[in-house]
Amino acid sequence: MINFEGFDDRTFYSTFQKEEDCLEYLSTLKWSDHYKCRKCEHTKYMKGKKLHSRRCQKCKYDESVTAHTLFHKLKFSILTAFEFIFKVSCDKKGMSTLTLSEKLSLSYQSCLNFRRKVQYAMQSSLQHPLKGYVEVDEFAVGGY
């Protein structure tokens, strides 16, 4: 998952100015350990047909940087998707789907569908419990 920890608005918008910036960032995340072909598990690759895609040297399988990610078959630009994730994950009070659709000039249904994908990806796996000092805002326990 994309980590915008330490990003404020200025940092985000200066880091991700065009789609190529997003694709490059996603490429470094996706293949940070090493490349491994999904079809034959070969580890050697060459440049693929599209920008930042990789092609297996053995079976010639071409894998897009967005394949098998949140951005697979995305109906809007990846730059807009990055901004969407930034706004959903970094806004303190959260942002409604309607507000997101207005701010990003997307249909309400597209925002709703993508938001569900993002929230599913952000779900805790319970493998990383909270530790140390944890601040909670507007929290209530019990009844009256």
32 DSSP assignment: S
pLDDT of residue 17: 94
Q: In what order do the strands lie in the sheet with 45-47?
A: 45-47, 54-56, 62-63
Give the domain ranges of the chain. Answer: 9-69, 73-125
Asked if 4 and 86 count as a contact pair (C-beta separation under 8 A), the reply is yes
In tens digits, what is the pLDDT along the chain, a chain of 144 residues?
Answer: 577 767 788 888 999 999 999 999 999 888 888 888 989 989 999 998 888 899 999 999 999 999 998 899 999 999 999 999 888 887 767 788 999 999 999 999 999 999 999 888 877 667 777 788 877 777 777 777
Contact criterion met (CB below 8 Å) for 71 and 79: no
User: What pLDDT is recorded for position 1?
Assistant: 56
